[in-house]
Chains A and B, each alone.
Chain A
Amino acid sequence: MRQWGVLLLVCFLGLAATGAPSGAWFGRSSAMILLPPGGTWIGLACGPSGTTAQVARGVTPRIEVSASSSSADLFHLAVKVVLVKNLVPLFVAATLGAEGIGVVSTLFFGPARLDWGRTWGQGKCRWGSVHLSARPRLSMFFGVEATKTVVEPFAGVRSFPSGHGLWEIGISVRRDGIRLSAGGAPW
Protein backbone atom coordinates (compact mmCIF):
# COMPACT_ATOMS: atom_id res chain seq x y z
CA MET A 1 0.00 0.00 0.00
CA ARG A 2 2.87 2.33 0.79
CA GLN A 3 4.03 1.87 -2.80
CA TRP A 4 0.70 3.31 -3.96
CA GLY A 5 1.28 6.33 -1.76
CA VAL A 6 4.76 6.83 -3.15
CA LEU A 7 3.45 6.40 -6.70
CA LEU A 8 0.75 9.01 -6.14
CA LEU A 9 3.30 11.35 -4.61
CA VAL A 10 5.51 10.94 -7.67
CA CYS A 11 2.50 11.67 -9.91
CA PHE A 12 1.76 14.85 -7.99
CA LEU A 13 5.40 15.87 -8.15
CA GLY A 14 5.30 15.28 -11.90
CA LEU A 15 2.22 17.46 -12.16
CA ALA A 16 3.98 20.15 -10.18
CA ALA A 17 6.97 19.99 -12.48
CA THR A 18 4.77 20.62 -15.52
CA GLY A 19 4.15 24.10 -14.17
CA ALA A 20 0.58 23.95 -12.96
CA PRO A 21 -0.59 27.24 -11.44
CA SER A 22 -0.10 27.63 -7.71
CA GLY A 23 -2.16 28.42 -4.62
CA ALA A 24 -3.69 25.04 -3.92
CA TRP A 25 -5.51 24.47 -0.69
CA PHE A 26 -4.51 21.82 1.84
CA GLY A 27 -7.48 22.20 4.11
CA ARG A 28 -7.61 23.98 7.43
CA SER A 29 -5.63 22.46 10.27
CA SER A 30 -6.85 21.74 13.76
CA ALA A 31 -5.54 23.11 17.05
CA MET A 32 -4.14 19.68 17.92
CA ILE A 33 -0.58 18.69 17.09
CA LEU A 34 -0.51 15.05 16.05
CA LEU A 35 3.15 14.89 15.07
CA PRO A 36 5.47 13.89 17.88
CA PRO A 37 8.48 16.15 18.49
CA GLY A 38 10.89 15.39 15.67
CA GLY A 39 8.15 13.96 13.45
CA THR A 40 7.98 15.37 9.92
CA TRP A 41 5.07 15.45 7.51
CA ILE A 42 5.48 16.15 3.82
CA GLY A 43 2.66 16.82 1.40
CA LEU A 44 1.74 18.06 -1.98
CA ALA A 45 -1.53 19.50 -3.24
CA CYS A 46 -2.66 20.65 -6.64
CA GLY A 47 -5.80 22.23 -7.97
CA PRO A 48 -7.17 24.85 -10.35
CA SER A 49 -4.98 27.54 -8.88
CA GLY A 50 -1.74 25.60 -8.76
CA THR A 51 0.50 23.24 -6.85
CA THR A 52 1.87 23.60 -3.36
CA ALA A 53 4.45 21.51 -1.54
CA GLN A 54 4.53 21.56 2.25
CA VAL A 55 6.74 20.23 5.02
CA ALA A 56 5.66 20.34 8.68
CA ARG A 57 7.64 19.29 11.73
CA GLY A 58 6.72 18.85 15.36
CA VAL A 59 9.20 20.74 17.52
CA THR A 60 7.68 20.19 20.94
CA PRO A 61 4.28 18.79 21.98
CA ARG A 62 3.01 22.39 21.73
CA ILE A 63 4.91 23.80 18.72
CA GLU A 64 4.80 22.82 15.08
CA VAL A 65 6.54 24.64 12.23
CA SER A 66 5.70 24.32 8.56
CA ALA A 67 7.19 25.54 5.32
CA SER A 68 5.43 25.55 1.98
CA SER A 69 6.28 26.53 -1.53
CA SER A 70 4.14 27.41 -4.52
CA SER A 71 4.52 29.59 -7.58
CA ALA A 72 2.44 32.32 -5.91
CA ASP A 73 4.41 32.20 -2.66
CA LEU A 74 7.85 30.73 -3.21
CA PHE A 75 8.63 30.31 0.48
CA HIS A 76 6.10 30.48 3.24
CA LEU A 77 7.01 29.74 6.84
CA ALA A 78 4.38 29.28 9.55
CA VAL A 79 4.34 28.37 13.22
CA LYS A 80 1.52 26.85 15.26
CA VAL A 81 1.63 27.09 19.04
CA VAL A 82 -0.91 25.18 21.12
CA LEU A 83 -2.08 27.51 23.88
CA VAL A 84 -4.75 25.35 25.48
CA LYS A 85 -4.65 21.58 25.33
CA ASN A 86 -5.62 20.13 28.66
CA LEU A 87 -9.08 21.61 28.67
CA VAL A 88 -10.59 18.45 27.23
CA PRO A 89 -12.30 18.41 24.76
CA LEU A 90 -11.10 21.90 23.83
CA PHE A 91 -7.79 22.78 22.18
CA VAL A 92 -6.78 26.32 21.16
CA ALA A 93 -3.74 27.25 19.09
CA ALA A 94 -2.23 30.43 17.71
CA THR A 95 -0.73 30.54 14.24
CA LEU A 96 1.80 32.90 12.79
CA GLY A 97 2.64 33.05 9.10
CA ALA A 98 3.16 35.37 6.18
CA GLU A 99 -0.62 35.69 5.70
CA GLY A 100 -0.99 36.98 9.24
CA ILE A 101 -1.69 35.99 12.81
CA GLY A 102 -4.42 33.48 13.48
CA VAL A 103 -6.24 31.50 16.11
CA VAL A 104 -7.59 27.97 15.72
CA SER A 105 -9.91 26.17 18.12
CA THR A 106 -10.82 22.51 18.13
CA LEU A 107 -13.48 20.58 19.96
CA PHE A 108 -12.35 16.96 19.80
CA PHE A 109 -15.15 14.46 20.31
CA GLY A 110 -13.36 11.39 19.00
CA PRO A 111 -14.65 10.45 15.54
CA ALA A 112 -16.10 13.96 15.15
CA ARG A 113 -13.96 17.06 15.37
CA LEU A 114 -15.07 20.68 15.13
CA ASP A 115 -12.51 23.28 14.09
CA TRP A 116 -12.95 27.00 13.74
CA GLY A 117 -10.50 29.80 13.28
CA ARG A 118 -9.65 33.23 12.08
CA THR A 119 -6.67 34.95 10.50
CA TRP A 120 -5.86 38.63 10.79
CA GLY A 121 -3.56 40.28 8.27
CA GLN A 122 -2.99 39.79 4.58
CA GLY A 123 -4.93 36.54 4.34
CA LYS A 124 -7.81 37.75 6.48
CA CYS A 125 -10.53 35.12 6.79
CA ARG A 126 -12.81 33.19 9.12
CA TRP A 127 -13.66 29.55 8.78
CA GLY A 128 -15.25 26.59 10.46
CA SER A 129 -15.29 22.90 9.62
CA VAL A 130 -16.42 19.49 10.80
CA HIS A 131 -14.13 16.49 10.40
CA LEU A 132 -15.57 12.97 10.63
CA SER A 133 -13.33 9.92 10.80
CA ALA A 134 -15.42 6.95 11.78
CA ARG A 135 -13.87 4.44 9.37
CA PRO A 136 -10.26 3.18 9.39
CA ARG A 137 -9.38 4.12 5.83
CA LEU A 138 -11.55 7.13 5.26
CA SER A 139 -12.39 10.46 6.79
CA MET A 140 -14.38 13.38 5.47
CA PHE A 141 -14.73 17.05 6.21
CA PHE A 142 -16.94 19.95 5.27
CA GLY A 143 -17.03 23.56 6.25
CA VAL A 144 -17.28 27.15 5.23
CA GLU A 145 -14.69 29.89 4.80
CA ALA A 146 -15.49 33.60 4.73
CA THR A 147 -13.25 36.37 3.47
CA LYS A 148 -14.22 40.03 3.21
CA THR A 149 -15.92 39.45 -0.13
CA VAL A 150 -16.75 35.76 -0.42
CA VAL A 151 -18.37 33.08 1.68
CA GLU A 152 -17.34 29.74 0.29
CA PRO A 153 -18.32 26.22 1.35
CA PHE A 154 -15.89 23.34 0.98
CA ALA A 155 -15.92 19.60 1.44
CA GLY A 156 -13.44 16.81 1.06
CA VAL A 157 -12.45 13.22 1.68
CA ARG A 158 -9.17 11.84 3.00
CA SER A 159 -8.20 8.25 2.39
CA PHE A 160 -5.52 6.25 4.20
CA PRO A 161 -4.48 3.42 1.89
CA SER A 162 -2.09 1.86 4.40
CA GLY A 163 -4.80 1.49 7.06
CA HIS A 164 -3.16 4.09 9.30
CA GLY A 165 -3.06 7.86 9.20
CA LEU A 166 0.61 8.40 8.48
CA TRP A 167 0.09 8.38 4.72
CA GLU A 168 -2.93 9.81 3.02
CA ILE A 169 -4.42 11.00 -0.23
CA GLY A 170 -7.21 13.53 -0.34
CA ILE A 171 -9.65 15.27 -2.58
CA SER A 172 -11.50 18.46 -1.77
CA VAL A 173 -14.06 20.50 -3.62
CA ARG A 174 -14.57 24.23 -3.61
CA ARG A 175 -16.49 26.53 -5.91
CA ASP A 176 -13.57 26.99 -8.29
CA GLY A 177 -12.83 23.30 -8.69
CA ILE A 178 -11.28 20.16 -7.31
CA ARG A 179 -8.04 19.89 -5.36
CA LEU A 180 -5.99 16.75 -4.88
CA SER A 181 -3.47 16.18 -2.16
CA ALA A 182 -1.09 13.48 -0.98
CA GLY A 183 1.20 13.37 1.98
CA GLY A 184 2.67 11.42 4.81
CA ALA A 185 4.97 11.28 7.77
CA PRO A 186 8.10 9.29 6.96
CA TRP A 187 9.75 9.85 10.31
Chain B
Amino acid sequence: MVRRALVLAGALLIVAIECLSSPLTILYTNDLHLRFERVASIERLIAEERVGDVPVLLLDAGDTWQDFRRPLAAVWGADEMVEWMNRVGYNAMALGNHDMYWGAERLGQLARRASFPILCANLKPVRPGAAPFASSTRLDAGGISVLLIGLITEDLLPYSAYPALRVVHPSVALRDEIARTSDGRDLIVVVAHLPVADAIRVAAEVPGIDVFVTGHSHEETSDPVRVGETLIVQSGKFGEGLGRLAVDVDPETGEHRLIDNDLIPTAKAPAEIGRGLLQLFRVVVTAVAAALLVLL
Protein backbone atom coordinates (compact mmCIF):
# COMPACT_ATOMS: atom_id res chain seq x y z
CA MET B 1 0.00 0.00 0.00
CA VAL B 2 2.77 2.34 1.02
CA ARG B 3 4.72 1.33 -2.07
CA ARG B 4 1.78 2.16 -4.34
CA ALA B 5 1.35 5.51 -2.65
CA LEU B 6 5.03 6.30 -3.18
CA VAL B 7 4.89 5.35 -6.86
CA LEU B 8 1.77 7.49 -7.28
CA ALA B 9 3.41 10.42 -5.47
CA GLY B 10 6.50 10.07 -7.66
CA ALA B 11 4.41 10.01 -10.82
CA LEU B 12 2.47 13.06 -9.66
CA LEU B 13 5.75 14.86 -8.91
CA ILE B 14 7.05 14.11 -12.42
CA VAL B 15 3.79 15.32 -13.94
CA ALA B 16 3.93 18.46 -11.77
CA ILE B 17 7.52 19.19 -12.86
CA GLU B 18 6.56 18.64 -16.49
CA CYS B 19 3.61 20.98 -16.09
CA LEU B 20 5.70 23.67 -14.42
CA SER B 21 8.52 23.59 -16.98
CA SER B 22 8.33 24.87 -20.55
CA PRO B 23 10.08 23.34 -23.53
CA LEU B 24 12.47 25.49 -25.55
CA THR B 25 14.38 24.70 -28.72
CA ILE B 26 17.63 26.51 -29.43
CA LEU B 27 18.81 26.31 -33.03
CA TYR B 28 22.41 27.36 -33.52
CA THR B 29 24.93 27.95 -36.27
CA ASN B 30 28.52 29.16 -36.17
CA ASP B 31 31.36 29.92 -38.57
CA LEU B 32 29.15 30.07 -41.66
CA HIS B 33 31.95 32.06 -43.36
CA LEU B 34 29.74 33.16 -46.27
CA ARG B 35 28.95 29.57 -47.32
CA PHE B 36 25.86 30.49 -49.31
CA GLU B 37 25.54 27.01 -50.75
CA ARG B 38 24.22 25.78 -47.37
CA VAL B 39 21.79 28.54 -46.43
CA ALA B 40 18.78 27.23 -48.38
CA SER B 41 19.01 23.92 -46.57
CA ILE B 42 19.46 25.64 -43.19
CA GLU B 43 16.44 27.85 -43.90
CA ARG B 44 14.31 24.81 -44.68
CA LEU B 45 15.32 23.06 -41.46
CA ILE B 46 14.61 26.19 -39.42
CA ALA B 47 11.14 26.47 -40.95
CA GLU B 48 10.42 22.81 -40.09
CA GLU B 49 11.43 23.40 -36.45
CA ARG B 50 9.11 26.37 -36.18
CA VAL B 51 6.02 24.44 -37.26
CA GLY B 52 5.26 23.20 -33.73
CA ASP B 53 4.17 25.11 -30.63
CA VAL B 54 7.56 24.94 -28.93
CA PRO B 55 9.28 28.34 -28.86
CA VAL B 56 12.44 28.42 -30.97
CA LEU B 57 15.52 30.58 -30.47
CA LEU B 58 17.84 30.99 -33.44
CA LEU B 59 21.42 31.99 -32.62
CA ASP B 60 24.70 32.36 -34.48
CA ALA B 61 28.10 32.28 -32.79
CA GLY B 62 29.96 34.49 -35.25
CA ASP B 63 32.41 34.43 -38.18
CA THR B 64 29.47 34.69 -40.52
CA TRP B 65 30.02 37.81 -42.62
CA GLN B 66 33.56 37.51 -43.92
CA ASP B 67 36.08 35.01 -45.22
CA PHE B 68 38.93 36.10 -47.49
CA ARG B 69 39.46 32.47 -48.49
CA ARG B 70 36.28 32.94 -50.54
CA PRO B 71 37.30 36.03 -52.50
CA LEU B 72 34.24 36.01 -54.75
CA ALA B 73 31.87 36.16 -51.80
CA ALA B 74 34.19 38.19 -49.56
CA VAL B 75 33.81 41.35 -51.64
CA TRP B 76 29.99 41.45 -51.51
CA GLY B 77 28.61 38.61 -49.39
CA ALA B 78 28.13 40.32 -46.05
CA ASP B 79 25.09 42.34 -47.09
CA GLU B 80 23.51 39.27 -48.60
CA MET B 81 24.22 37.24 -45.46
CA VAL B 82 22.72 39.93 -43.22
CA GLU B 83 19.60 40.00 -45.39
CA TRP B 84 19.30 36.22 -45.21
CA MET B 85 19.70 36.26 -41.41
CA ASN B 86 17.04 38.98 -41.16
CA ARG B 87 14.70 36.95 -43.34
CA VAL B 88 15.02 33.68 -41.41
CA GLY B 89 14.68 35.55 -38.12
CA TYR B 90 17.90 35.14 -36.17
CA ASN B 91 17.42 36.31 -32.59
CA ALA B 92 21.06 37.25 -31.97
CA MET B 93 24.57 36.78 -33.26
CA ALA B 94 27.92 36.84 -31.49
CA LEU B 95 30.58 38.98 -33.08
CA GLY B 96 33.36 36.85 -34.60
CA ASN B 97 36.92 37.89 -35.39
CA HIS B 98 36.29 37.52 -39.14
CA ASP B 99 33.24 39.77 -38.91
CA MET B 100 35.58 42.53 -37.73
CA TYR B 101 37.81 42.23 -40.82
CA TRP B 102 35.54 44.64 -42.68
CA GLY B 103 36.89 47.49 -40.58
CA ALA B 104 35.02 49.58 -38.03
CA GLU B 105 32.97 51.71 -40.40
CA ARG B 106 31.68 48.84 -42.54
CA LEU B 107 31.00 46.67 -39.49
CA GLY B 108 28.87 49.52 -38.14
CA GLN B 109 26.89 49.61 -41.39
CA LEU B 110 26.30 45.85 -41.32
CA ALA B 111 25.26 45.89 -37.66
CA ARG B 112 22.75 48.65 -38.40
CA ARG B 113 21.28 46.62 -41.27
CA ALA B 114 20.81 43.58 -39.05
CA SER B 115 17.38 43.30 -37.46
CA PHE B 116 18.86 41.25 -34.60
CA PRO B 117 21.41 42.32 -31.99
CA ILE B 118 25.14 41.71 -32.46
CA LEU B 119 26.53 40.70 -29.08
CA CYS B 120 29.97 41.03 -27.52
CA ALA B 121 30.54 41.73 -23.82
CA ASN B 122 34.32 41.48 -23.66
CA LEU B 123 35.23 44.26 -26.10
CA LYS B 124 34.50 47.42 -24.14
CA PRO B 125 34.27 50.78 -25.92
CA VAL B 126 36.53 53.37 -24.29
CA ARG B 127 34.71 56.14 -26.15
CA PRO B 128 30.93 56.48 -26.55
CA GLY B 129 29.67 55.11 -29.82
CA ALA B 130 32.84 53.13 -30.54
CA ALA B 131 31.08 49.75 -30.47
CA PRO B 132 28.46 48.82 -33.07
CA PHE B 133 27.31 45.96 -30.84
CA ALA B 134 25.68 45.34 -27.46
CA SER B 135 26.96 43.29 -24.52
CA SER B 136 23.68 41.45 -23.99
CA THR B 137 20.01 41.39 -24.78
CA ARG B 138 16.96 39.90 -23.09
CA LEU B 139 14.03 38.34 -24.86
CA ASP B 140 10.91 36.39 -24.06
CA ALA B 141 10.59 32.90 -25.53
CA GLY B 142 7.12 31.56 -24.79
CA GLY B 143 7.12 32.97 -21.27
CA ILE B 144 10.75 32.11 -20.58
CA SER B 145 12.97 35.11 -19.92
CA VAL B 146 16.19 34.51 -21.85
CA LEU B 147 19.30 36.59 -21.22
CA LEU B 148 21.68 36.39 -24.19
CA ILE B 149 25.28 37.52 -23.66
CA GLY B 150 27.96 37.65 -26.36
CA LEU B 151 31.68 36.91 -26.10
CA ILE B 152 34.55 36.92 -28.58
CA THR B 153 37.92 35.21 -28.68
CA GLU B 154 41.08 37.26 -28.19
CA ASP B 155 42.76 35.36 -31.06
CA LEU B 156 43.31 37.04 -34.41
CA LEU B 157 41.38 40.21 -33.69
CA PRO B 158 42.28 43.22 -35.81
CA TYR B 159 43.23 45.27 -32.76
CA SER B 160 44.95 48.14 -34.53
CA ALA B 161 41.86 48.87 -36.65
CA TYR B 162 39.63 49.23 -33.58
CA PRO B 163 41.69 51.50 -31.33
CA ALA B 164 38.76 52.54 -29.13
CA LEU B 165 37.90 48.99 -28.00
CA ARG B 166 39.51 47.47 -24.92
CA VAL B 167 39.73 43.70 -24.52
CA VAL B 168 38.47 42.28 -21.24
CA HIS B 169 38.91 38.67 -20.11
CA PRO B 170 35.75 36.72 -21.08
CA SER B 171 35.12 35.45 -17.53
CA VAL B 172 35.42 38.92 -16.04
CA ALA B 173 33.17 40.45 -18.68
CA LEU B 174 30.60 37.68 -18.32
CA ARG B 175 30.51 37.84 -14.52
CA ASP B 176 30.03 41.63 -14.67
CA GLU B 177 27.32 41.37 -17.31
CA ILE B 178 25.37 38.71 -15.40
CA ALA B 179 25.63 40.75 -12.19
CA ARG B 180 24.50 43.87 -14.04
CA THR B 181 21.60 42.45 -16.03
CA SER B 182 20.28 39.16 -14.65
CA ASP B 183 17.36 39.15 -12.24
CA GLY B 184 18.02 35.57 -11.18
CA ARG B 185 15.07 34.12 -13.10
CA ASP B 186 16.61 34.19 -16.57
CA LEU B 187 17.77 31.34 -18.68
CA ILE B 188 21.31 32.57 -19.31
CA VAL B 189 22.56 31.72 -22.79
CA VAL B 190 26.06 32.79 -23.78
CA VAL B 191 26.57 33.13 -27.52
CA ALA B 192 30.30 33.06 -27.81
CA HIS B 193 32.84 33.08 -30.59
CA LEU B 194 35.07 30.99 -28.33
CA PRO B 195 36.44 27.45 -28.71
CA VAL B 196 34.87 24.74 -26.58
CA ALA B 197 38.02 24.52 -24.41
CA ASP B 198 37.78 28.23 -23.58
CA ALA B 199 34.07 27.89 -22.89
CA ILE B 200 34.80 25.06 -20.44
CA ARG B 201 37.23 27.34 -18.56
CA VAL B 202 34.78 30.24 -18.53
CA ALA B 203 31.87 28.03 -17.42
CA ALA B 204 34.01 26.69 -14.56
CA GLU B 205 34.83 30.24 -13.46
CA VAL B 206 31.42 31.84 -13.87
CA PRO B 207 28.45 30.14 -12.19
CA GLY B 208 24.92 30.43 -13.48
CA ILE B 209 25.40 29.91 -17.22
CA ASP B 210 22.76 27.58 -18.60
CA VAL B 211 23.77 27.22 -22.26
CA PHE B 212 27.00 28.13 -24.02
CA VAL B 213 26.73 28.25 -27.83
CA THR B 214 30.31 28.41 -29.12
CA GLY B 215 32.29 28.87 -32.34
CA HIS B 216 35.72 29.75 -33.78
CA SER B 217 37.24 26.27 -33.41
CA HIS B 218 34.96 24.53 -35.95
CA GLU B 219 34.14 21.72 -33.50
CA GLU B 220 31.07 19.49 -33.49
CA THR B 221 29.43 18.55 -30.21
CA SER B 222 26.97 15.76 -30.91
CA ASP B 223 26.49 15.55 -27.14
CA PRO B 224 26.72 18.81 -25.19
CA VAL B 225 29.84 19.21 -23.07
CA ARG B 226 28.74 19.62 -19.46
CA VAL B 227 30.43 21.81 -16.88
CA GLY B 228 28.22 21.60 -13.81
CA GLU B 229 24.79 22.61 -15.07
CA THR B 230 26.17 24.39 -18.14
CA LEU B 231 25.62 22.82 -21.55
CA ILE B 232 28.28 23.71 -24.13
CA VAL B 233 27.51 23.16 -27.82
CA GLN B 234 28.99 23.95 -31.24
CA SER B 235 27.79 22.98 -34.69
CA GLY B 236 31.02 22.53 -36.66
CA LYS B 237 31.70 24.87 -39.57
CA PHE B 238 30.46 26.33 -42.85
CA GLY B 239 26.82 25.49 -42.09
CA GLU B 240 27.44 21.78 -42.59
CA GLY B 241 25.15 21.13 -39.65
CA LEU B 242 22.38 22.99 -37.88
CA GLY B 243 22.59 22.57 -34.12
CA ARG B 244 19.37 21.82 -32.28
CA LEU B 245 19.29 21.86 -28.49
CA ALA B 246 16.00 21.02 -26.77
CA VAL B 247 15.65 21.90 -23.09
CA ASP B 248 12.91 22.12 -20.51
CA VAL B 249 13.03 25.36 -18.60
CA ASP B 250 11.32 26.40 -15.38
CA PRO B 251 10.08 29.91 -16.22
CA GLU B 252 10.12 30.87 -12.55
CA THR B 253 13.76 30.05 -11.87
CA GLY B 254 15.36 29.74 -15.30
CA GLU B 255 16.59 26.25 -14.34
CA HIS B 256 16.86 23.88 -17.27
CA ARG B 257 16.90 20.20 -18.06
CA LEU B 258 18.43 18.79 -21.23
CA ILE B 259 16.04 16.88 -23.43
CA ASP B 260 18.04 16.40 -26.57
CA ASN B 261 20.84 17.77 -28.76
CA ASP B 262 21.25 17.07 -32.48
CA LEU B 263 23.46 18.20 -35.28
CA ILE B 264 21.18 18.08 -38.29
CA PRO B 265 23.19 17.67 -41.51
CA THR B 266 22.50 20.23 -44.22
CA ALA B 267 22.62 19.83 -47.98
CA LYS B 268 24.67 21.77 -50.50
CA ALA B 269 22.90 23.62 -53.28
CA PRO B 270 24.30 25.71 -56.12
CA ALA B 271 24.66 29.29 -54.92
CA GLU B 272 24.70 32.37 -57.08
CA ILE B 273 28.01 34.02 -56.27
CA GLY B 274 28.89 35.10 -59.81
CA ARG B 275 27.89 38.69 -59.06
CA GLY B 276 31.10 38.92 -57.03
CA LEU B 277 33.13 38.66 -60.22
CA LEU B 278 32.75 42.31 -61.19
CA GLN B 279 33.49 43.57 -57.69
CA LEU B 280 36.49 41.26 -57.35
CA PHE B 281 37.70 42.46 -60.75
CA ARG B 282 37.46 46.06 -59.47
CA VAL B 283 39.46 45.19 -56.35
CA VAL B 284 42.18 43.40 -58.32
CA VAL B 285 42.45 46.10 -60.99
CA THR B 286 42.64 48.89 -58.40
CA ALA B 287 45.19 47.01 -56.29
CA VAL B 288 47.34 46.26 -59.34
CA ALA B 289 47.09 49.88 -60.50
CA ALA B 290 48.09 51.09 -57.02
CA ALA B 291 51.02 48.67 -56.98
CA LEU B 292 52.17 49.71 -60.46
CA LEU B 293 51.96 53.35 -59.41
CA VAL B 294 54.49 52.61 -56.69
CA LEU B 295 56.75 50.30 -58.68
CA LEU B 296 57.05 52.14 -62.01
A121 within 8 A of B: no
- Asked whether B74 lies within 8 Å of A133 as measured between CB atoms, the reply is no
- Asked whether B167 lies within 8 Å of A88 as measured between CB atoms, the reply is no
Stretch of A5-13, A14-22, A160-168, A174-182 with 4 or more beta carbons under 8 angstroms from chain B? A160-168
B127 within 8 A of A: yes
Q: List chain B residues, Cβ under 8 A from A34.
A: 104, 160-161, 163
Residue from A109, A134, A166 in contact with B101 in the complex, judged by beta carbons closer than 8 Å? A109
Interface size of A by Cβ–Cβ distance < 8 Å? 39
Interface size of B by Cβ–Cβ distance < 8 Å? 38
Q: List chain A residues, Cβ under 8 A from B157.
A: 110-111, 134, 136
B106 within 8 A of A: yes
Q: List chain A residues, Cβ under 8 A from B97.
A: 110
Stretch of A46-54, A67-75, A112-120 with 4 or more beta carbons under 8 angstroms from chain B? A112-120
Q: List chain B residues, Cβ under 8 A from A131.
A: 160
Q: Chain B, 32-68, contact with A by CB distance < 8 Å: what is the 0/1 string?
A: 0000000000000000000000000000000000001
Q: List chain B residues, Cβ under 8 A from A88.
A: 74-75, 102-103, 106, 283
A150 within 8 A of B: no
- Asked whether A32 lies within 8 Å of B283 as measured between CB atoms, the reply is no
Q: Chain A, 18-37, contact with B by CB distance < 8 Å: what is the 0/1 string?
A: 00000000000000101000
A107 within 8 A of B: yes
Q: List chain A residues, Cβ under 8 A from B140.
A: none
Q: List chain A residues, Cβ under 8 A from B16.
A: none
Number of A-B contacts (CB under 8 A): 111
B164 within 8 A of A: yes
| Minimum distance in angstroms from B122 CB to a CB of chain A | 11
Q: Nearest CB to that of A86 among chain B residues?
A: B106
B193 within 8 A of A: no
Taking CB atoms and an 8 Å cut-off, the chain B residues in 63-101 that contact chain A are: 68, 74-75, 97-98, 100-101
Q: Chain B, 128-159, contact with A by CB distance < 8 Å: what is the 0/1 string?
A: 00000000000000000000000000111111
B275 within 8 A of A: no
- Asked whether A165 lies within 8 Å of B291 as measured between CB atoms, the reply is no
- Asked whether B162 lies within 8 Å of A87 as measured between CB atoms, the reply is no
| Minimum distance in angstroms from B160 CB to a CB of chain A | 4
Residue from A32, A136, A158 in contact with B161 in the complex, judged by beta carbons closer than 8 Å? A32
- Asked whether B167 lies within 8 Å of A136 as measured between CB atoms, the reply is yes
Residue from B98, B126, B163, B164 in contact with A110 in the complex, judged by beta carbons closer than 8 Å? B98
- Asked whether B98 lies within 8 Å of A105 as measured between CB atoms, the reply is no
- Asked whether B167 lies within 8 Å of A163 as measured between CB atoms, the reply is yes
| Minimum distance in angstroms from A110 CB to a CB of chain B | 4
With the chains together, A84 CA to B282 CA distance in Å? 11
| Minimum distance in angstroms from B2 CB to a CB of chain A | 64
| Minimum distance in angstroms from B222 CB to a CB of chain A | 31
Residue from A90, A110, A117 in contact with B294 in the complex, judged by beta carbons closer than 8 Å? A117
With the chains together, A80 CA to B105 CA distance in Å? 18
Q: Chain A, 113-151, contact with B by CB distance < 8 Å: what is the 0/1 string?
A: 100111000000010100101111001000000000000
> Can you list 29 residue pairs at the A/B interface with Cβ under 8 Å?
A61-B105, A84-B286, A85-B105, A86-B106, A87-B279, A88-B74, A88-B102, A89-B68, A89-B283, A105-B290, A105-B294, A110-B158, A110-B161, A113-B158, A116-B290, A116-B294, A126-B295, A134-B157, A136-B154, A139-B160, A162-B126, A164-B126, A164-B163, A164-B164, A164-B167, A165-B159, A165-B160, A166-B164, A185-B163
**What is B's interface to A at a CB cutoff of 8 Å?**
68, 74-75, 97-98, 100-106, 126-127, 154-167, 279, 282-283, 286-287, 290-291, 293-295
Name the 10 nearest CB pairs between A and B, nearest first. A165-B163, A110-B101, A105-B290, A164-B166, A133-B160, A110-B158, A136-B167, A118-B294, A133-B159, A163-B166
Question: 11 additional contacts, CB 8 Å, given A92-B286, A185-B163?
Answer: A34-B160, A87-B283, A89-B68, A105-B287, A109-B68, A110-B101, A110-B156, A117-B294, A128-B294, A134-B159, A160-B159
